[in-house]
Amino acid sequence: MLQLTSPLPNQVYQRNAQGRAYVSIKGTCPTDVVSLEVICTPGIAGRLQTATIPVINGAFTAVTILEQGDYTMVVSPVKASGKDTAAAITQKVGIGEVFVVWGHSVAQGDDRFHLGGATDPRVFTVGIDMTANGANAHYNTTGDAADLPSAIVPYASDVVPGPYGSSTHFWAKFAEKITLKYNVPTMLLNAAFGGTNLEQWYKSITKTPFEHGFVDYRLGFPYINLKNAFTKYTSVSGFRAMLVDHGANDWQNTDYEAIFGYFKGIIEQARIDSKSPKAAVVVNRATPFGKTGIRGVQQRVISDVAYCFAGPDYDAQILEEADFIDSGHIHLSVQGQAKAAQAWADAIPPTVLAKMVPYQAKAVELITAPVETQKTDDTPLTISRFSKFKLAAISIDRNLLLGAVLAAVLILGSFLLGRWSIRHRNA
């Protein structure tokens, strides 16, 4: 039986500046299968692409390059007698945009109400259930990425985005606006934690003790959500940027230099954990309870920390009393959420998108990334290709080969030179 462990159904890979991404194709099949035929048929956007992947001893591990768009991928086993269409696997895969959200409750969402899900079928997330008896509730007691789900699902109404969102919130509509603007699939991950501030996020990185009624720093909360988003999800999918709404819960702290240090420190650690030193960070601006110093910190992060960009300006864009559900003008009503979704989408126009350095997993990283349904094995690495990108794929093989040959020549030369020197000293 043909089994595909990668890509996962509905997987979205972050595109690069050329609109392409590596896609890993892994799995097992009967030993009489000699190769796999892969056909990617575009949906709303994309280009028909095909590839042939060799099979060795009933296993296959390959990386290919796919052009931006949404696809139906059909993987068919090919035996000596011909293609076995009846045993084919069909699933969705996309090349587009991936975003990671973090911050406090305004970013996490409110489980009492939300704006609603996306209706475009190209918008995805990792659906979670963190309710008391939910499928992922155990995560709250461990902070372990292994307790988070892997399934990628359409970001529809009542879907809660992983790893730690609390409702559909406005992010589904934001992601849909990005999909419609750039005509590519979008996946959004929400790592926010309501009721937390920047100081607690910073301290949780090193598990420095702090008191909080429902946040356990010993497990790495709240920062561990963001680290797990990188470890479990973007290590494969890649991502375009982090979207950050934070600082409102620091309003009682007037040491703005310290708050800036916390904010910058979190970003620096996130770039380490995401393996993306130039990861883009889009920062929201808002003045909580009249504390203009907090907005000043947010603005300073945008101006002084590399690869940070201005996000929405809630002070200017979300003004009406009906936009909020509290007198402090912090938490958004459904009307306010609609404005927020538009404001976040407007903050990422093509000119800004072009300045962001997206993270993409390297071909070898995709090959060696563990999968939950199959242990990693010693199957030889295969760099496959879709027809249009033959030269790009061959250059990968050639560079690896030339590097290996050069290293061997240098080692052999050093050895022979040493032997020659010894003989002449002994002569």
Position 380 in a domain? yes
pLDDT of 404 above 80:
no
Same domain, 79 and 117: no
Give residue 386's pLDDT band: very low, low, confident or very high (50, 70, 90).
Answer: very low
Position 147 in a domain? yes
Structural domain including 176 reads 96-353
pLDDT digits (tens, 9 = 90+) for 278-296: 999 999 999 999 999 999 9
pLDDT (mean) for 100-117: 93
Give residue 222's pLDDT band: very low, low, confident or very high (50, 70, 90).
Answer: very high
Position 39 in a domain? yes
pLDDT (mean) for 403-408: 41
Same domain, 378 and 233: no
61 with 381: CB under 8 angstroms?
yes
Position 424 in a domain? no
195 with 214: CB under 8 angstroms?
yes
Same domain, 107 and 130: yes
Give residue 368's pLDDT band: very low, low, confident or very high (50, 70, 90).
Answer: low
Bigger pLDDT: 139 vs 425: 139
Give the pLDDT confidence score for residue 253 in this predicted structure: 97
Residue of 152, 144, 30, 36 whose CA lies nearest to 85: 36
Give the pLDDT confidence score for residue 327 in this predicted structure: 87
Same domain, 178 and 166: yes
Question: What SS3 class is residue 58?
Answer: coil
Give the pLDDT confidence score for residue 362 in this predicted structure: 76
Give the pLDDT confidence score for residue 133 in this predicted structure: 85
Give the pLDDT confidence score for residue 180 in this predicted structure: 98
Bigger pLDDT: 88 vs 400: 88
Same domain, 190 and 226: yes
Give the pLDDT confidence score for residue 394 in this predicted structure: 27
Question: Domains in the chain: how many in total?
Answer: 2
301 with 261: CB under 8 angstroms?
no
Find the CATH number of the domain harbouring 177.
Answer: 3.40.50.1110
Same domain, 231 and 366: no
Position 420 in a domain? no
Same domain, 107 and 81: no
Same domain, 312 and 224: yes
Give the pLDDT confidence score for residue 361 in this predicted structure: 84
Give residue 367's pLDDT band: very low, low, confident or very high (50, 70, 90).
Answer: low
Same domain, 189 and 335: yes
Q: What is the DSSP string of 226-256?
A: HHHIIIIIIHHH-BSEEEEE--GGGTT---H
pLDDT of 270 above 50:
yes
Bigger pLDDT: 425 vs 138: 138
Same domain, 86 and 101: no
Position 397 in a domain? yes
Give the pLDDT confidence score for residue 409 in this predicted structure: 41
Position 218 in a domain? yes
Find the CATH number of the domain harbouring 72.
Answer: 2.60.40.10
What share of the chain in percent tops pLDDT 90? 80
Same domain, 9 and 124: no
pLDDT of 190 above 60:
yes
Same domain, 231 and 185: yes
Position 406 in a domain? no
pLDDT of 357 above 50:
yes
Exposure of 254 by Cβ count < 10 A (0-12 exposed, 13-18 middle, 19+ buried)?
A: exposed
- Mean pLDDT rounded to a whole number for the chain: 87
pLDDT of 412 above 60:
no
pLDDT of 420 above 50:
no
Instruction: Give the torsion through C-alpha atoms of 391, 394, 395, 398, to 10 deg.
Output: -150
pLDDT of 175 above 70:
yes
